[in-house]
Amino acid sequence: MDWSTPRQAPDEQIFGRWASELVAELPDRLSTRVHDNARRIPEQPALVEGSERWNYRQLSAEITAATAWLTGQGIRPGDRIMVVSENSRALVVLLLAATELDASVAIVNPRLSANEVDAIALDCQPRRIYYTASVSTEAAEHGIRLKADTYVHERLGELMISPVNTVDTDPVYPEGHRQLAALIYTSGTTGRPKGVMLSHRGILYIASISGGMRHLTEGQRVYGVLPMSHVFGLSSVCMGSLYNGACLYVVPKFTPEAVFDALEHESITVLQGVPAMYAKMLEHLRTRQQPLKKDSLVYLSAGGSPLDRETKQRVEAVFNLTLHNGYGLTEASPTISQTRIDQHPLDNTVGAVLPMLEYRLQILDAGSASNASASDDVPGELWVRGPNVMLGYYRQPDATAACLTADGWLNTGDIARVDDQGQLYIVSRSKELIIRSGFNIYPPDIEAVLNRHPAVIMSAVVGRQVTGNEEVVAYVQCDPGAMVTEQTLQDFVLDQLAPYKRPARIHIMEQLPATATGKILKGRLRDLANTEGDE
């Protein structure tokens, strides 16, 4: 079967309605459906953060109040605000209030290093920066470092807020498919980071279609620990829950103990996570003597990084539920495919492409004709087109043109195959991207930091597969005779990289393997790293 010809994924029924109908009725702004829910199901639980519990009527009122408050803070249509925050009610309200004003929100993980946070701020030029100090010590530390003012908001908790910056505004469009809602940054230790521009419609497509397929509806209680600074946590978990009338439990940081407590005492029904999270939960279960209590749990899914079959089988055996899988990337808001709720796959398929999306596979053999394509279950580079595809990289037309065509086709950079049942399988990533615990890591960022050390000549960073996750492994070539140890280099990068970006191992080599032209053979290093991991 030839998968090079563009195909549109077929329409599907979701809760008795066609996906095409749901797409046709998507509103133009993120907050619209939340306000609709406030009129339709006002007393239904909407948001829980610790002891703070809001129904849809209260959440809607908080968004309306915050919209007026942000206006008084000098936020204008077309502005960008930057929110450095863990998951919290403040982050949810600031996001929905700002986008209701036609401002966009750059959501930033507070666990990033100072260099990374500053690079993002320099790139997106926010009107103001908000730090959610009450839920994140790391956010508070960034606020203190940048001399932000403390503000105790009556309903949102303690914030730190930067002064008003004089910045240019972006264009404002009434149509949801054109209007910028959120900026999710994919890198930023060195050079210029890339801000993925997500539209209102793109996020809402995922919330409606992907969320609907997960049965995120009234009465469901969703454990929201995946960070909203990651698009999976933003579109699928947060907006998927609120769009469909479910109750979102916002959780700042993941711990296995907190998950098990919520499963038992809060009757969580939906749990979404990255494979590494499930691996840690299984490890915790092995060491504790109490049984798993999850009587209300009806749905499990993994995403954000590759799910290996061993982790899938172990999770399913312990939870006695199917661990659903999916695939996407930040530039696709993020979901491209997912296993359907009535499927119980035994392998590592990432499911069928979501309804109404177009897709095709392009062969990668450089020696083949330019129009050669993947067919007969042969892997190829996956391209997609649809409402969830990004608007582009913020103020970076060249980077945008490198992966997004003028007519809307996105090159995912991932190698995939499709079987005769339309099930998608991700074979490998053609890019060097490492995904650790759901966070994207770009090797050049880490290499640039290592290369700053005066004794380092060059470095190469690769990913190593471990159960349920990937690790960062670095190889460095130093000046002959330099008195450098692995610990020396680990200490050197400590304050320059976020914890999840720090290498698990740094190997010092006399010479890095390279071609005659000097190009480092990363494939050989990747094989070496994975061989060492098996020892």
Per-residue pLDDT tens over the stretch 328-354: 999 999 999 999 999 999 988 999 999
pLDDT of residue 518: 53
User: Residue 369 pLDDT more than 50?
Assistant: no
pLDDT of residue 53: 98
Q: What sign has the CA pseudo-torsion 511, 513, 516, 518?
A: negative
Point out the least confidently predicted range of 97-101, 267-271, 382-386, 415-419: 415-419
User: Residue 450 pLDDT more than 80?
Assistant: yes
Asked whether the beta carbons of 303 and 270 are under 8 A apart, the reply is no
pLDDT of residue 375: 58
Asked whether the beta carbons of 279 and 469 are under 8 A apart, the reply is yes
CATH superfamily of 434-534: ANL, C-terminal domain (3.30.300.30)
pLDDT above 90 covers what percent of the chain? 75
- Compute the average pLDDT of residues 422-446: 81
Convert 26-42 to b/e letters by CB count within 10 Å (16 or more is b).
bbbbbbbbbbebbeeee
Higher-pLDDT residue of 245 and 513 is 245
Looking at domain 30-173, its CATH class is: alpha beta
In the DSSP assignment, the letter for residue 14 is E
Q: Which residue has the tokens 């003012």?
A: 149
User: Residue 370 pLDDT more than 50?
Assistant: no
pLDDT of residue 289: 74
Residue of 120, 93, 90, 87 lying closest to 106 (CA atoms)? 120
User: Residue 366 pLDDT more than 50?
Assistant: no
Higher-pLDDT residue of 258 and 428 is 258
pLDDT of residue 32: 98
Where residue 448 falls among pLDDT bands split at 50, 70, 90? confident
pLDDT of residue 516: 47
Q: What sign has the CA pseudo-torsion 372, 378, 380, 382?
A: positive
Q: In the chain, which segments carry CATH 3.30.300.30?
A: 434-534
At 152 the three-state DSSP class reads: strand
pLDDT tens track for 305-335: 778 777 899 899 999 999 999 999 999 999 9
Q: Which residue has the tokens 């480092």?
A: 520
Where residue 376 falls among pLDDT bands split at 50, 70, 90? low
At 37 the three-state DSSP class reads: helix
Q: In the chain, which segments carry CATH 3.40.50.980?
A: 30-173
Point out the least confidently predicted range of 14-18, 73-77, 176-180: 14-18
Which parts of 341-468 are beta strand (E)? 352-353, 358-362, 380-385, 392-393, 410-418, 424-429, 434-436, 439-441, 456-466
Beta bridge partners of 270: 222, 299
Q: Are strands 180-185 and 7-8 parallel, antiparallel or unpaired?
A: unpaired
Cα–Cα distance measured from residue 72 to residue 415, given in angstroms and rounded to the nearest whole number: 48
pLDDT of residue 365: 53
Higher-pLDDT residue of 241 and 304 is 241
pLDDT tens track for 167-212: 999 999 999 999 999 999 986 444 578 999 999 999 999 999 999 9
pTM comes to 0.85
Point out the least confidently predicted range of 216-220, 280-284, 303-307, 468-472: 303-307
- Average pLDDT taken over every residue of the chain: 91
